[in-house]
Structures are given as C-alpha cells and as structure tokens.
Amino acid sequence: MNITQILFWFLSVLALVSALMVLLSKNPVHSVLWLIVVFFAISGHYILLNAQFLAIVNLIVYAGAIMVLFLFVIMLMNLSADTEPQKNVWMKLAGTIAGGCFLISTCNIVYNAQNVSQEIAGKTALLNQGNIGLIGNLGKVLFKDYVVPFEISSVLFLSAMVGAVVIGKKEKSNV
C-alpha cells in the first residue's frame, strides 16, 4: 500500500459515510455540514487525479459560497424535524426509483470506462500523471478551443445575476 492508496481509501470512506450522514441527520443544519465534508472528500479525490484547479474551485464555489447560502437560509428559517410536513409515500417511492436509475446509469458508465481505456482500469489514482487538470492547460483549452461556449455561458450567468437583482428590486417597491 502506498500513500495514494491510503489516501484514496480514506477519502472514499469519508465521502460515503458523510454522504449517508447528509441523508440520515435529523437536523438540516447538520445535513449541510456533512455535505461540506463530502465536498472536501471529493476535492481530495480531484487532487489525487492531479486536477488541482477543479479541486480548489470545488471548495471555493460549493463549500465556500453555495453552502454558506444554504446555511443562511436554513438558519434563518429555523427548520426542524417536528415542523417539517412529512412527504407522502408516493413521492418517496418516485424519488427512490429516480435515484436508483441514476445510480445504475452511473455504475454503467464506470464499468464501460474500464473497457474503453486500459489506462484507468484497476487504478485508484493518477497522481503526477496527465496534466490536463493543471490550471495552465485548463486555461488554454478553455480560452482557445472552447472560447465561444465559455463566453456564452458567462453571458448566461450575467443575465441570471441581473435577473435576480430585478426580481429583488420589484419585491422591495411593492412592500
């Protein structure tokens, strides 16, 4: 066992356990905190795959920004298991089926990937191999090969931001 394998198994167990805790926690605030642990574990996996930029952006955007907003909302609403209305059985069943379908298709992708490329078959990590995940290469790919989609998506984000501001302003003038 070398150090990448130890890290791989540690991070995998951490990710799975905390993902389970997200679902099992009674308190929504605890769920959010476990979800942050999941993001950390996944970032660790990205680093093992030598995708440093992805790892750190995952932390900044998801763990650092989006989860803070989640926490904001949950803390201010002060949710708890008692006040939360129970979903009916059919909803739960539909959710289970949809989640199960997603799980099956993900397993299928992973299984097929081993057949497609011998490189990744039976490997836990690609540390120090392949450098597409490093920031310089990623930037070159984004700004040379995929400039147009990149710029279009940035315009999309901008319009979403403007939209949010407009919606916020309207509500204020009514009150």
Partner 1 sequence: MTLLSLNIDWILLIEKLALIAIVVFASLGIALYTTFGERKVAAILQDRPGPNRAGPFGLLQPLADGVKMFTKEDIIPSSASKWLFILGPGLAMTASLMTCAVIPWGGTIELFGRTISLQIADINIGILYIFAVVSLGVYGIMIGGWASNNKFSLMAALRGASQAISYELAMGLSLIAVLMLSGSLSLGDIVKQQQAGWWNIVYQPLGFLIFFICALAECNRTPFDLPEAENELNFGYHQEYSSMKLGFYLFAEYINMIMSSAVMASLYFGGYDIPFVNDAELQTHLGNWVALFQVGTLLIKIVFFIFLFMWIRWTIPRFRYDQLMNLGWKSMIPLALVNMLVTGALVLLKMNNWHF
Residues within the interface to partner 1 (CB under 8 A): 1-3, 6, 27, 29-30, 33, 36, 52-53, 56-57, 59-60, 63-65, 68, 71-72, 75-76, 134-136
Nearer to partner 1, 118 or 144 (CB): 144
Choose between 97 and 147: whose C-beta lies nearer to partner 1. Answer: 147
| Minimum separation from the CB atom of position 3 to partner 1 (A) | 5
CB of 56 to partner 1, least distance (A): 4
Distance CA 108, CA 16 (A): 19
Query: How far apart are CB 4 and partner 1 at their closest, in Å?
Result: 10
Smallest distance from partner 1 to CB 136, Å: 8
Task: State which residue, 112 or 159, has the beta carbon closest to partner 1.
Answer: 159
Shortest CB 117 distance to partner 1, Å: 25
Report in angstroms the alpha-carbon separations of 174 from 4, 167, 168.
Answer: 58, 11, 10
| Spatial distance between the Cα atoms of 123 and 121, rounded to a whole number of angstroms | 6
Nearer Cβ to partner 1, position 26 or 87? Answer: 26
Which CB sits closer to partner 1, 24 or 65? 65
By CB atoms closer than 10 A (0-12, 13-18, 19+), residue 91 is exposed
DSSP per position, 79-133: --TTTSPPPPHHHHHHHHHHHHHHHHHHHHHHHHHHHH-GGGTT-S--TTS--TT
